[in-house]
Amino acid sequence: MQRFLHHFSVVSLRPTEYSVLALIAENPGRKQSEIAAALGIQRANFVSLMNDLEGRCLTERRSAPNDRRSHALYLTVSGENLLNHARRAEADFEADCLERLGGARARDQFLALLSRLFS
């Protein structure tokens, strides 16, 4: 986790924030409740998280077209730019992990062993 946080410190994002931005980018216009449910985040916590992201001008809420009581979520241009930087940080993090494991073959073996533990 420390290595992950180190790689993502350049974009000032926590893992949950990154997940939210990525999911909104892949699903623009989805309701706030749908994004929260997909990530398993409780409603009250998600509202606070969205307030923070919106306060940083990374996301915006718009009235949902078919339900004015709900909010549809979108990334702002700043949010898209930050997500692009974050994706590069993720790629750097993954490359670092791959190197530390000893390459793709070692990674595949490691993942196979992990799946045995959790299946």
Topology (CATH level 3) of domain 2-117: Arc Repressor Mutant, subunit A (1.10.10)
Is this model's pTM higher than 0.85 or not? Answer: no
Taking all residues of the chain, what is their mean pLDDT, rounded to a whole number? 92
- Is residue 67 helix, strand or coil? strand
Domain ranges of the chain: 2-117
Q: Which of 69, 34, 65 is nearest to 50 (CA)?
A: 34
- pLDDT given at position 63: 87
Task: Give pLDDT tens digits for 77-91.
Answer: 999 999 999 999 999
CA distance 115 to 65: 42
Task: Give pLDDT tens digits for 30-63.
Answer: 999 999 999 999 989 999 999 999 999 999 999 8
- Taking 80 as the threshold, does the pLDDT of residue 102 lie above it? yes
- pLDDT given at position 46: 95
